[in-house]
Structure 1
Amino acid sequence: MTVLEMLRGVRPSADADEAGGAASQAPSWLPEPVRDVLVGLATGLLSLLVVVVPTALGWMLEPRSGGSMAEPIGAGSSLWLLVQGAHLGSGATKVAFVPLVLGGLAVWLASRGAGRALEGSDVDDEFAADLLPRSVLVVGGRWWLGYAVAVGIASALTLAGSLPLRWPSLAVPLLVVPALALALAIRRLAREADVLGPRFDAVVVPDTVRRASGPARRGLVLLLGLATAVVLTAVGLRWGAVTSLQAEVGAGFLGGLLLIGAQLAALPNLALWVVGLLAGPGFSVVDGAHTSLAGSSTGLMPLVPVFGAMPEPGAYPWFVRLLVLVPVLVGAYVGRRSLAAVARLSSLRTKASVASVACLLVAATIGAFDALGGGSLGAYRLGDMGTPALWTTLVVAVELLVGALAVVAWDAWRLRR
C-alpha cells in the first residue's frame, strides 16, 4: 500500500447505507484539510524520491573521496526541479534542458496525486463563479499547497549540491506543473461527474478546429515518428562511436544505466532537432557545430554518448537536400486526413480551412515542445543547443501547408472533372 492509498482511506466515506439510506461515515484520524495537504506533500515527495534515490545509490556505489551524502541528495533535488522546468546554474552557466519524457512523467505523477485528493471532494457542491464546485476548488488548493511545500523542500536541498537553482525559474515547478496536473485530474473527474460549471458551456470550439484536431494529431505523430526513426537509425549506424563515448564517460554500471535512461528520456528532444533538420533550419549541438541538409561543421562536443551519432563534418551530396520534402509529404498526409474529416461535397473553402488549421496546430505544437525542452547545458558554446524554435515553427508550418493545400487543390480538380 502506497502513502497516497493510506491517505486516501482517511476521508469519511460518502456512500449511502443500503438499509437506511443514510451516509455511512468511516472513522477519520485526520481532518480533511490536513489530509488534502498531506496528499499534495506525498505526491511531490514520492516524485522527488524517484530521482533522488537512484542518484544517491549511484554515489554510494562509487563515492568520491571527501564527498558526503548531502551532495547526491542535493544533485538529485536539482535534477527533479530541472525536469519540471526549473533552470540551474549561476553566472554565465545555465542548464535549461528538460528531457520531455521525464517532464511528462512528472506532470502525470502529479496528476495522479491530485486525482486522489479530488476523489474526496463534493462534486455536488455549489459552483464557484460558475466554473467548478467550491469543494473541488478548495481541495485542489489544499493539494497545491502540499505540493508547493514539497517543491520548497527540494529547493532547500539543492543548496547542499553543486547544481545551484536559478530561483526565478522556480515558478514553473511551483505553479505551472501543479496547474497542469490539476487540469488533468479535473478532466478525469469530469468524465465521471458533472463538475464543469455553466461558464464552460459557453466555450464552443469552432467547428473547423474540432475537425482539424484529428488530422493534426495524426500528422504530429507521423512527423515525430519519422524524426525519431532518423535518430535511432543514426545511433545504429554509428553504434561503435556511441558505445566508445559511453565507455569514456566512466560512469560505472549504475551510473551508466542512469545515463542511458537520461538519453532515452531526451529522445523526443532529439527528434525535435531532427524535425528542424528536415525542415531546413538545422540544429546545433554547440556553438560552431551546425548541422543542416547542406552539411555539418565540426566542434568540441560535450561528452554525451548519443552525440557520437552525429554525422561526419563536411558538405553533403545535393540529393540530401531532397529530405526537405519530408515535411511537405507529411503535410499532404494531413491534407488527406482533413478531407476525410469533412463531407465529400463540402466547399473548397471548408476543406482548405480544416487542412490549414491542422497544419498550423502541428507546427505550433512542434514549436511549443521545442521551447519547453529548452536548449542549454552550460555557458558560452553550450548555451544555445538544438533548433531555433520560432524559425523552425514558421518553416514547418509553410512546408506542411504546401503539401496539405496541394492535396486539397488536387481533390477539388478531380471533383470538377
Structure 2
Amino acid sequence: MIDDATTPEHETASWVTGVLAALQAAVLSLAVVVLPAVAVFVATSADPGNESTSWPAAVVTGAGLWLLAHGVPLVTAGSVVSVIPIGLTALAVLACYASARRTAQRTWSALGAAVGTYVLVTVLVVLLAGFAGAAQLGSAVLGGLGVAGLGAGAALLSTADRPDLPQWWGALERVPASARLGARAGLAAVAMVVAVASLLVLAWVFMGRSRSMDVVTALDVTGFDAAALALGQSTLVPNVVLWAVSWVAGPGFAVGSGSHFAPTDVVMGPMPVFPILGAMPAESLPGAFWLLGPAAVAAAGALAALLVRRAAERWRDVGLAGLTIGLTAGASTAVLMDLAGGSAGPGRMAEIGADPLVVGLVVGGEVAVGALLLLVLAHPTTRRGVTTGWRRLRRGDAKEDATDAPGEPTARTALTPRTARTARTSRTAPSPVSAPSVPSPPSAPAIPAPPVPSPPGPDASPPAVLGGGARGGAADAAEPDADERDGTDGPAASR
C-alpha cells in the first residue's frame, strides 16, 4: 500500500491519478456514443427531412444515450424511456476499469477520487444536456457511483499490490464458511443460467432470421444507416439475454403491454421496429417440455453447490449453504431483471421486460432446490447409508443364490430319520464312478469240523436240528433288524 503522507514530492499524488483515470473513462465512453450520433447527422444532413436538425441536437442525443446507460431516464415529447442499454453500461464499466488499471495508483484515496470525479462528470452531462429534473439528477448520482465503483474498484482489488483491506472487512471472516462460499456459488449459478439463456437467444435469432430480414427491408436502410442501426441493436443484446433468463425460469417477459412470451404461452402484439425483436419466440413449447427450463436452472444450482460441498459437513451447514445460494441467486437475478426492463415510450411500450420480484423468487427457489439436492446426496451420512444399504442388498442376494442352489437341501426341507441315514450312507459309500469295484478272488470252501460227541446226561435234551430250534429262529429273525440299524438291507446292500 502506498502511503499518501510519504509520497515523494516529484511523484503525482494518488488522488490526482484517480481524477485523471475518471476523466479518461468518461471521455472515452462518451465519445463512443456521441461521435456516431454526429456522424449519422453528417451523413443524413442532405436529406430534406433533416433540415431542422442541427449538430448540437445530435450531440444531445448521444449524451442522452450515454446517460441512459447510467440509469438516467430520458423524457422526450411527454414520454419516458427508461430501458437501460446494458451493452453501453458494460462499455462504461470497462472504460473505468481500463483507465484505473493504467493510470490510478493502488490507494484508497485514488479510488475515492476516481469515483467522485466520475459522479461529478455524470451530473455535469445531465445539466448540459438539459435533463435537469430531480429524478434525473438522483439517477445520475446513483449511476455514476455504480459504474465507477464497479470498474475502478475491480481494477484496484484485482492487482497484487492492492491496498490493505479496512478493518471492518475482517468481520466477514466471522461469517461461516458455508455462507461465504454459498454467496459465491449463488453468483456462479446465475452466471451459468445467463450462459444457457445466451445459447437460447442464438437459437431464437437463427429461427427468426426471416422475420428480422423483413424488418430490415421495411426500414429500407443501407450503408451507414444500416451500420448505425446494427450498432444500436448490439447495445440491447444483453437485455434480450436477460429476458431469456426469465423465459428459461418459467415466468416469461413482455415486449409491450398485453404481450407475453413464456414457455407455456405466447401472446404476440405490435412491437418496436427493431430487427432483433423479430427473433422473439413465436410458439410455446409442447407438452411438458417447458419443464426443461426450470430443470436447467436447478442443474445450475447443483453444479454451483460443488463449491460448497467440502464446507457443508454438518447438516446445519447444508441448510445454511443452500439458503445462501438461493438468496444470492434470487437477489442478483432480481437486480438484473430491473436493469433490463422499463419503459420504451408512450402507450403500450411503457411495459418491457419481466417482473423483477417474480423472476427473482422463481430463480432463487429453483437454484436452492438443485443446490440442496446435491448437498444432501453428497453428505457423508447419506453416502454411508447408501453404501451400507447396497452391501446389505448384495449379501441378501448372495444368500438367496446359495439357498436356491440345486442339489443342496433347503432350510425348509424336513428330513426323516431313515432319509438321513440313507443320505449319510450314500455320502460315505463310494460311488461306481469314483471307486470302481474290483472282484475279489474266490475263497476256499469252509470244511466243517467234525462234531465232538458229548456224553449224554440224564437230562440231556436231543441235539438241535441244523437251522431249526427256537434260538436259531430267533437269531435269524434278529439279523434283518441289525441290518436295518446299520442302514443296509443285508448282503445285497453290502455288495
Normalising by structure 2, we get a TM-score of 0.67
For 1:102, the equivalent position in structure 2 comes to 88
* 2:32 matches 1:50: yes
CA RMSD of aligned residues (A): 3.2
Letter of the structure 2 residue corresponding to residue 395 of structure 1: V
Find the aligned partners of 1:311 and 1:215 in 2 and give their Cα distance.
31
Deviating above 6 A after TM superposition, structure 1's stretches of 4 or more consecutive aligned residues are: 31-35
For 2:354, the equivalent position in structure 1 comes to 387
Instruction: After TM superposition, give the deviation of residue 337 of structure 1 in Å.
Output: 4.3
For 2:487, the equivalent position in structure 1 comes to none
- Equivalent pair of 2:181/2:307 in contact (CA under 8 Å): no
For 2:118, the equivalent position in structure 1 comes to 147
Correspondence 1:17-36 to 2 at 5 A = 25=10
Find the aligned partners of 1:391 and 1:58 in 2 and give their Cα distance.
40
* 2:383 matches 1:407: no
Correspondence 1:14-413 to 2 at 5 A = 25=10, 37-63=19-45, 64-90=50-76, 93-116=79-102, 118-119=104-105, 123=107, 136-137=108-109, 139-159=110-130, 166-188=136-158, 191-204=160-173, 205-312=175-282, 316=284, 318-319=286-287, 321-339=288-306, 341-343=308-310, 346-411=313-378, 413=382
Deviations 1:349-399 (A, max 9, x none): 423432332233222221111112332111221111111110111112222
Deviations 1:211-268 (A, max 9, x none): 2245334422221111111111111011111122123234442332233233333222
Find the aligned partners of 1:140 and 1:77 in 2 and give their Cα distance.
25
Instruction: After TM superposition, give the deviation of residue 33 of structure 1 in Å.
Output: 6.9
> Tell me, which stretches of 5 or more residues in structure 1 are unaligned?
1-12, 15-22, 124-135
Deviations 1:174-233 (A, max 9, x none): 4333333443243235x3043323332233253113322453344222211111111111
Letter of the structure 2 residue corresponding to residue 356 of structure 1: L
- Equivalent pair of 1:39/1:146 in contact (CA under 8 Å): no
C-alpha spacing 1:201/1:405, structure 2 compared with 1 (3 Å): closer
Find the aligned partners of 1:345 and 1:185 in 2 and give their Cα distance.
32
C-alpha spacing 1:333/1:225, structure 2 compared with 1 (3 Å): closer
* 2:385 matches 1:416: yes
- Equivalent pair of 1:224/1:275 in contact (CA under 8 Å): yes
C-alpha spacing 1:174/1:207, structure 2 compared with 1 (3 Å): same
- Equivalent pair of 1:216/1:361 in contact (CA under 8 Å): yes
- Equivalent pair of 1:90/1:166 in contact (CA under 8 Å): no
Find the aligned partners of 1:171 and 1:142 in 2 and give their Cα distance.
15
C-alpha spacing 1:278/1:345, structure 2 compared with 1 (3 Å): closer
For 2:469, the equivalent position in structure 1 comes to none
Aligned sequence identity (%): 25
C-alpha spacing 1:62/1:361, structure 2 compared with 1 (3 Å): same
Letter of the structure 2 residue corresponding to residue 253 of structure 1: G
Secondary structure of 2:82's match?
strand
- Equivalent pair of 1:363/1:394 in contact (CA under 8 Å): yes
Q: Which has the larger radius of gyration?
A: 2
Higher mean C-alpha displacement, 60-69 vs 73-82: 60-69
Instruction: After TM superposition, give the deviation of residue 32 of structure 1 in Å.
Output: 8.0
Letter of the structure 2 residue corresponding to residue 266 of structure 1: L
Deviations 1:85-134 (A, max 9, x none): 11111575111112223212212212333445531x7x5xxxxxxxxxxx
Find the aligned partners of 1:227 and 1:104 in 2 and give their Cα distance.
18
Secondary structure of 1:89's match?
strand
Find the aligned partners of 1:306 and 1:326 in 2 and give their Cα distance.
22
Find the aligned partners of 1:274 and 1:181 in 2 and give their Cα distance.
26
C-alpha spacing 1:408/1:51, structure 2 compared with 1 (3 Å): same
Secondary structure of 1:192's match?
coil
Find the aligned partners of 1:159 and 1:344 in 2 and give their Cα distance.
54
C-alpha spacing 1:348/1:93, structure 2 compared with 1 (3 Å): same
- Equivalent pair of 2:297/2:363 in contact (CA under 8 Å): no
> Tell me, which stretches of 5 or more residues in structure 2 are unaligned?
1-5, 387-495
Normalising by structure 1, we get a TM-score of 0.78
- Equivalent pair of 2:20/2:103 in contact (CA under 8 Å): no
C-alpha spacing 1:147/1:341, structure 2 compared with 1 (3 Å): closer
Secondary structure of 2:255's match?
strand
Instruction: After TM superposition, give the deviation of residue 331 of structure 1 in Å.
Output: 1.9
C-alpha spacing 1:264/1:33, structure 2 compared with 1 (3 Å): closer
Pairs aligned (count): 372
Secondary structure of 1:312's match?
coil
Find the aligned partners of 1:275 and 1:54 in 2 and give their Cα distance.
31
Letter of the structure 2 residue corresponding to residue 176 of structure 1: G
Letter of the structure 2 residue corresponding to residue 42 of structure 1: Q
Find the aligned partners of 2:309 and 2:16 in 1 and give their Cα distance.
52
- Equivalent pair of 1:277/1:293 in contact (CA under 8 Å): yes
Deviations 1:258-313 (A, max 9, x none): 33233333222212212212222211101011122222112111111111122337
Find the aligned partners of 2:15 and 2:279 in 1 and give their Cα distance.
53
The structure with higher relative contact order (CA 8 Å, sep 6+) is 1
Letter of the structure 2 residue corresponding to residue 355 of structure 1: G
C-alpha spacing 1:41/1:149, structure 2 compared with 1 (3 Å): farther
Instruction: After TM superposition, give the deviation of residue 80 of structure 1 in Å.
Output: 0.6
